[in-house]
Amino acid sequence: EDQVTQSPEALRLQEGESSSLNCSYTVSGLRGLFWYRQDPGKGPEFLFTLYSAGEEKEKERLKATLTKKESFLHITAPKPEDSATYLCAAAGNRDDKIIFGKGTRLHILP
């Protein structure tokens, strides 16, 4: 069964303290690995799509990387406005579903 697991569940960092969020996935034939940001009371906002192991994408203070089993979202020198829940999702070739993890709640302290 396809599965996405995110860790940690929650993370508190000081402003400027870099860290990484983990997403472990098990899907049959990965056709896309997705990262989203979700603010309270809002729908998920698209950040990145990764398609193959070794691929990396960057946007401002965020960088997403992909291996055959995991993806990491690296946050460099975060600011309080980066506080949100970060969701990871994976799509496999077996079916049309896109499976989400439970998310990592990130809180950046000023």
Partner 1 sequence: GAGVSQTPSNKVTEKGKYVELRCDPISGHTALYWYRQSLGQGPEFLIYFQGTGAADDSGLPNDRFFAVRPEGSVSTLKIQRTERGDSAVYLCASSLDRRNTIYFGEGSWLTVV
Q: Give the three-class secondary structure for 81.
A: helix
User: Distance between CA atoms of 78 and 100, rounded to whole angstroms?
Assistant: 24
Task: Provide, rounded to whole angstroms, the least separation between the CB of residue 77 and partner 1.
Answer: 27
Nearer to partner 1, 54 or 96 (CB): 96
Angle at 35 between CA 31 and CA 36, to 5 degrees: 130
Note the residues at the interface with partner 1 (CB under 8 A). Answer: 4, 6, 31-32, 34, 36, 42-46, 49, 87, 89, 91, 95-103
Nearer to partner 1, 1 or 54 (CB): 1
Nearer to partner 1, 63 or 76 (CB): 63
User: Please, which residues bridge with residue 89 across strands?
Assistant: 34, 100
